[in-house]
Structure 1
């Protein structure tokens, strides 16, 4: 729903007066696809928030609303739980990606060994291929 609303910007804001909105949208949209250019996600999120505020500010100015950037930054409603949930999902996906790409091993722990047969000790028992 939100993405659909933002894609309407390209068709809705076309006059010279509305160019600031289109430019802010292009900057924000371009940034959304640049996560890989950052060493960590914190600076990417910070820049993402800055560009989003620029976009909302440009829209408010175009629509003749009297908002300033500080007000838009601080009064924006974003529940902490939503951010925590998104971060958790991102951590899981990043971890899976590292394992699948071979960058990180998948740790495995043996919790229960089968009982030994006969009088064999652990050292005498040969490891069987999987």
Structure 2
């Protein structure tokens, strides 16, 4: 049996191209090599997050969390935890997901605007590594 870890998930309906999502998620560094964060990590005050622990992607427009999460790493475990916690599907359709693995977001702020698109924190969920 693997270790139980946490993943924090945000959802949005951005109508962006994948290249725009990459720009938003791509961290900046100072001339000295200090981590300055990405638009996404700064919007939610996440601090330093290793690029390898973030999975963000565009999905087919949907109101179904199971459809949206399908294909992401640990999707079966994550969706099982979403279902167990009785998290309902988003009120609005979503086409963008951002998952930060091995991270437990404090939940503040729950929403924030990035390039005039509202991102919603869905919650922290468990998966087995």
Which TM-score bucket, shorter chain as reference?
Answer: under 0.3
Q: TM-score, normalised by structure 2?
A: 0.23
Q: TM-score, normalised by structure 1?
A: 0.23
Specify which structure has the higher proportion of strand: 2
Specify which structure has the higher proportion of helix: 1
Higher RCO (CA-CA < 8 Å; seq separation 6+) = 2
